[in-house]
Structure 1
Amino acid sequence: MSKNKLMEFMQKEIPSKKSKIEILQNKKEEILKLHNTGYAVQQIVNYLKITYQLITSRQTVSKFIKEELKK
């Protein structure tokens, strides 16, 4: 596998041993940008599902955003 293909795979595929919060932490910049520009939590959940094949609940994403905004 070439380095480009490997990097592409690693960006799209999420290691199964990571927790959802760790995964969301890696996507924090994208999640907060979407949130700050007015996207609803459900739209962010859909974005994560389409872009990264990440299936997570609206509640998990909502809690993650609230905790990140407290920092």
Structure 2
Amino acid sequence: MNILGLSCFYHDAAAAIVKDGLLTAAAQEERFTGIKHDADLPSQAAVFCLEKAKLSMDDIDYVVFYDKPFTKF
């Protein structure tokens, strides 16, 4: 099972991939944007994680978010 985890819209946006229960990749969005404590959707971090894990979005079983998604999206 492949899970893409997202943290965003508060501060320090990040993405991570858990592949069969193991953390495969993780990155903070500010590493790509240069914006300290970047709170935006971590799109560049997610792309990095997918590439590092050698996955595409078609391979992702679940996308998870740390907060109540209906209040943020």
Kindly indicate which of the two structures has a greater share of residues assigned to helix. Answer: 1
TM-score range, shorter chain: 0.3 to 0.5
Larger Rg: 1
- In terms of fraction of residues, the more strand-rich structure is 2
Structure with higher RCO (Cα < 8 A, 6+ apart): 2
Please give the TM-score of this superposition, normalised by the length of structure 2: 0.33
TM-score (ref. length: structure 1): 0.34
